[in-house]
Every structure is written in C-alpha cells, then in structure tokens.
Chains A and B, each alone.
Chain A
Amino acid sequence: MIARWGLWEVPLPALASTSWLMMISVLLPVALGVLGSCFPPRRVWPVLLAGTSLMAVGVALLASVMMAGAQLVSFSLGSIPIALRLNGVAVLMLLVTQLIAVATALYTPGMLRQMAPLALGRWLWGLMGALVATLSLIWMAVDLLTLYFALELMGLCAVGMLLLSGKSDALVAGTRYLLLALVGSLAYLLGVALILGRWETLSLIALAEQHVSGPVAWIAAALMGAGLALKAALFPLHAWLAPVHVNAWTPVSALHAALVIKASLYILLMLWSLLLPASEAVPFMMAVLGTLAIVWGGLSAWRADSLKVLVASSTVAQLGYLMLVFPLLLAPDISAQAQQLAWEGYWLLLIGHALAKAAMFMAAGNLIFATGESTLKGLAGTSRRLPLSLLVFGLASVTLMGLPPSAGFIAKWQLLHAMILTTQWWMVVVLLMGTLLTAAYVFRLFRYSFIDSAPRHEFKRLSPEMDVIALFLALAALMLGLFAYWPLTLLEGGL
C-alpha cells in the first residue's frame, strides 16, 4: 500500500524542469487569484486564458510523470526539510483540481454579474487561488509540516469562501465550521507530536522506511484520523456539512464538496497506510461507519425539503462508499489483485464524484437562481422552462448512481470485483443498496420538476455559460468512464 503512495522504493530526484513546474503549479494559482482580486474579471475570456495557462502546467507535469515516473523534490528552508513528490495519484488529483477550479472560475463571472453588484465578489478570486494552491500542495506534500501548513490554510480559505454570501445563517454555520476545522487540525498536530516524539522525523518517506508500528502509531493514527475525519465530514462527524452548503455561493459549494473535503480524506488514507499497516479492526470499523453513512446520507437526502440539503446529504452518502473501501485497501490479508482493483476503483469513484458533485451543485444553483425557490416543491414545473439545468442534474446523477458508462459505473465495477475476490458479500449488498437509495432521492427531484399543474413563475434568465460549464463537468464525469483506461494506467504500481 505504501508503494502506491510513492513513499516506498523512494522515487528518483525530480528533473529540474519538474521541480520548477511543481513550484509553478503551487504559485501560479496564488498569483492568478491576487490578479483576479485586483482586477475582477467580468467576462469569461480572461478567466479562460488564465485557466488555460494553469492547466498547461498540470499537463506538463503529467507528461513528466508519464516519461520519467514518480519523482521527489526535497529542499530545506533554513534547517526545515520540505519534501514534495509527484506520482500517478498526485498528478491525477492535481489535474482534477485544476479542471474543477477552472470550471468554477469560469462559472463565477456569470454568477456575479447576475447578482446585485457585490463588494465581496472580489475576495472570491483571491481565496479561490489560495485554495487551489493549498490543494495542489496537499496532493504533492510528503512531510507532515507541509501537510499541516497546507491543511490549515486550505481550511481557512474554505471558511472564508463559504462566508462570502454574507447571510447571517451562513455566518453561524461558517463559524461552527471554522471552530471544528481548527480543532480538527489540532488533533492532527497532536498525532504529529507523537510521531515526532517517537521517530523524530516529519518525513513520510523516512517513516515508511522505519516500518512504524506499536501503540504510539495507533494512538497517533487515532488522533489524526479523528481530526481529519471531522474535516472531511465523514459520518458521524458530518453534521456541519449541510448548513454550510445551504447558504454558500454556488461555485464555492462546488469547490468545497468536490475537492476540499477530499483533501482531508486523501491525507487520512495516506497516513493510515503508513501508521496502520497491519490493522484489521480499524478499517473494518471505517467500513461499518461508511455503511451507516450510505444509509443515513441516502435517507436524509431522500427526505430533504431543500435542494441544497439534498445535494449535501448525497455527499455524506458518497463519502460512505469511500469509507466502505478502507478494509480492501488497508487490511493485511487482502490479495494484491484485489487491493489493486480497490485502489483503482477508489480513485475513480473519488474523481467521478468530484466532477459530478461540482456539476450537480452548479445545476442546483442554476435551478435555485432561476426560480428563486430553494425547496424541491418550489421547483415544480421547471422541466419545461429549465430543461438544460435538469439535464445536467440528471447526467451528474448517472455518475453518482453508478450507471454505465459513467466513471461511477467503472469505479463500482472495480470495487465489486475486489469485494467478490475477497468474498466480502456484505459490502456488495451495501454497494447495491446505496445505488438504490441514490436513485430514490434523485428521482424525487425529477418527480417534482415534471409537475405540470404548477403555477407559472417568473424565471430569471441565466447566463448561457453557467449551464454550459455545468454540462461540461457532468459530461466529463460521464466520459471518464469511457476513457477510464487512461487514469487507470496512472494508478498502476510503479508510477
């Protein structure tokens, strides 16, 4: 498992060009964000130009990994060692981050133009830039100090973005999120304290070499796990998630649900692979909690009155799948083949969900904006007037439900295969049940939208790009299933 993270058989020192590119991939979003804050773009084309330059860096890094394999950059600031590595998973997450960030940035001018002129809109650009930088850093960092720094900064940026809508409910929800996120990072730091005290290193690669185990590793894993699970909204620590999304701006919700909570989950899985190499009980417990998350999230999405609560609860349920896979990834007696399948399925599911959830939040935001209604009942009759937004919502749901040919389908197929190989039949049942629940809550929205007898509302006009970008993301999630071969080669061992 450690080898898959690029922490074992230490990757080669990075090519000079790669280390520059890695630095640019972190610094460029900050620079673009500052630029955006100083001169807020009102049209799409400057954003597209800036986004293309960012994506070019990501593609160059991808090319570098394809050619030269996993690479490591280590340098020191003063006498503080910093280590970044680029491998298949890291570059994949980096590309997905850049893609979703550029899509949300393209969505933003249209949204800001439609709303009353907002002084706060300016801040969104800077925060978005900093958020993308910290996310990029998280995918690449392999030392505990850099991870801590990036995690904290990401949390603060995320809170700042969620508050921008300025509604007083948003402030209350945001304050609670802020407090929980800060306390979560302190739990992480306590774990770091134990690791430093016992093994005297912050480098994950050095930790991998020392084969850490024993009670100190378990307690550190528990502390870090609790803190990161809180930040990732893993069941049962998810209560803060829905209120935060209800009041936030659409692009902010999209970025948050797609990427921010995934970053904590990413760190959690990476650290547990190191600290709990032979544990059966802990991953099993995660799988049980994941099952509860699927049921609970599905049921609360099914019962939700508000569209945004539906989408946010669906995130809790989808995170449940990612928790369900933990035993297949971490338990000691899993065959290499099953572990590989689970590993591939895990990332494909995570990426598919990131794309689809961003699209779904945009579609939901468009529906709410156009109708002025945030409840499901208020959306009655939208099928005739807003077919494109509903289509996007439907396409995104296809990925969440895991119907072919979406990324969700391929991912679940891989996971099912792994579950059958390891004869974990109960997981198969949970996976299928989750799919049914997803279908149940998604079709509830469509039932309301096709009510014809609804009174006619005055619908506000949407900027065309708001629908087009959401459609693009939903299609990306769908097409990722057809072209899954490409991300899967990146996830194979060695890279």
Chain B
Amino acid sequence: MSTMSLNTLSPYISEILLALMLVCVAWATLFDRHLLRACSMFVVFALTLTLAWWRLQTPWLAFAELIFGGVLTSLAFFYVLGVVPLASPLLPKRDGLVETWSHAGVRAVLALSWLALLLVALYALTPTFADAFEGNPLIVAGAVMVASGLGAFALHRHLLRRLLAFNVLGSGVFLFLAGLAGTLVKVQALIVVGLLVAWLGTLLGALLIRRIYMLQGQQALADGDAKEAE
C-alpha cells in the first residue's frame, strides 16, 4: 500500500468500494425475506456488477450484464412475483419458512469451507498472500459472493430465493473467473456463454415457478429436505 502513488490509490480505493458494495448488495438480495425487496436489490446488484465490468475495461461484458442481468433476468424475477404483467395474481410477499438453527449452521459451515477452498486456490495462484488480497478486491468479492450464494442456495427452500441465489452465485463465478484469468477474449467468451445460459435457466425457472404456484399454491414453492423425507 505504502509504495502506491497517489495516482493509483484513488482507482484502487474505488475498486475496494465497488467490491464492498457488491458484497453488501448481494447479501441483501440473498437474505431479505421480503421477496419484492430482494428482487429489487437484485436489479441494483446487476447494475453494480455492470459498473464493475466497466472498471475492468470490458465494455462488452458490461453491456451483456446490463442486458441479461439488469433487464432480462430482473424481468423474469418480477414475472415470478406477479408484478409484470400488471394485474396478474401476486406471490405472497414474504418467504415465511423458518430454517432451524442446525440446518442453517450446516449451511454456514458449507459456505465457509467453499470460501476457504477458493481462497486457498487464490493463494496457490498468486505469489504472495498479500497480493492476492490487495491487488484484486473484486476477486475476493467474487469468492465471497460464490460462497454466500452457495450457502444461500443450500439454505433456502423457497424456489424463488434459490433462483436468486443461483444468479448471485453465477455472478460471483464470472467475477472470480475474470479476476483470475484476466480479460482475454476467450475468458470473455466463457462469461458471455455463462451469462446467456444463466438467463435462459432463470427464464425457464421463472416460468416453472409461476406455473407451479398457479397449479398448486404456495405450499409447493418450498423445495428441499422436507419433501425429500416424504
């Protein structure tokens, strides 16, 4: 840090701020039980990520993220909620399923072990541990997003929240990928394919969740262990 000149300091700080904001918005998306708020947070998340791609000097990825994440995927989420199209029946506002402490604890351990795994990989890939953190705040944000996204995916039973968690997890993976491998054309190609597939998957998931809700009501939206046990 001390060797950095003032010129490089300010972009560095803005990158740290961007990384912090990404993580905070991701957590708000993942852990808000109020579904409309969580989905709105996802829009903010996608816009922040667009900014991050812009900062990494990949305008094409910023554009793709804006279109696929900010517009199309967000629309899919609002479609599930019943916000669009207007006058369609709304989904219940909150996810009322309460997870037990043991259930949540196991998921937290899972998320932390993933984070540890990714940080070990990061450590093995960069010459010194300090470089791994100081040089790439966005990679670390990506790793944290992957771990928390995965933890939330395993924790939640509400299908919409699992879909949100999948999207945050995906964005974390893309950020981690770009941070580790640079922004070569082939990396960008991988990420664009990933964004496209994530959007297609989310769209299919959104149509399905909506249809399940219309056919079977709210109960059916709880997926997971409770049903497996039957």
Contacts and interface: CB of A to CB of B under 8 A. Distances in A.
Interface of A: 78-81, 145, 148-149, 152-153, 156, 159-160, 163, 168, 171-172, 174-176, 178-179, 182-183, 185-186, 189-190, 192-194, 196-198, 200, 202, 214-216, 219-220, 222-223, 239
B117 interface: yes
Given A152-B193, A202-B186, A202-B190, 9 more contacts: A148-B194, A152-B197, A168-B215, A168-B216, A175-B212, A183-B150, A189-B177, A197-B181, A219-B124
Contacts of A168: 212, 215-216, 220
B180 A196 contact: yes
Interface in B168-188: 169-170, 173, 176-177, 180-181, 185-187
B135 interface: no
B190 A145 contact: yes
A145 B186 contact: yes
B208 A175 contact: yes
Given A171-B212, A172-B220, A193 B176 contact: yes
A312 B193 CA distance: 32
A153 B194 CA distance: 11
Contacts of B180: 193-194, 196-197
A395 B163 CA distance: 43
A172 B204 CA distance: 13
Contacts, number: 121
A198 B125 contact: yes
A171 B215 CA distance: 10
A292 B180 CA distance: 37
A480 B131 CA distance: 57
Contacts of A182: 166, 170, 197-198, 201
Given A168-B216, A196-B187, A148 B177 contact: no
B46 interface: no
A173 to B, nearest CB: 10
A156 B121 contact: no
B186 A80 contact: yes
A276 to B, nearest CB: 15
Contact of B197 (A163, A185, A196): A185
B169 A171 contact: no
B121 to A, nearest CB: 5
A79 B186 contact: yes
Interface of B: 117-118, 120-121, 124-125, 146, 150, 153, 159, 162-163, 166, 169-170, 173, 176-177, 180-181, 185-187, 189-190, 193-194, 197-198, 200-201, 204-205, 208-209, 211-212, 215-216, 220, 223, 227-228
A-B residue pairs, 3 tightest by C-beta: A197-B180, A196-B181, A193-B177
Contacts of B223: 172, 175-176, 179
B169 A189 contact: no
B103 to A, nearest CB: 16
Contacts of B173: 186, 189-190, 193
Binding site of A, secondary structure by majority: helix, strand, loop or mixed?
helix
A215 B186 contact: no
6 contacts: A145-B189, A156-B201, A175-B212, A183-B166, A196-B186, A214-B124
B185 A79 contact: yes
A463 B117 CA distance: 55
B197 A156 contact: yes
Contacts of B117: 219, 222-223
A192 B208 CA distance: 30
Contact of A189 (B121, B194, B204): B194
A239 B190 contact: no
A172 B197 CA distance: 21
Contacts of B198: 182
A197 B190 CA distance: 13
A183 B169 contact: yes
Given A152-B197, A194-B125, A178 B205 contact: yes
A163 B208 contact: yes
A171 B206 CA distance: 12
A223 B209 CA distance: 28
Nearest to A179: B162
B188 to A, nearest CB: 9
Contacts of B181: 193, 196-197, 200
A3 B41 CA distance: 50
Contacts of A174: 208
A75 to B, nearest CB: 14
B205 A175 contact: yes
A239 B229 CA distance: 11
A200 B166 CA distance: 27
A402 B197 CA distance: 40
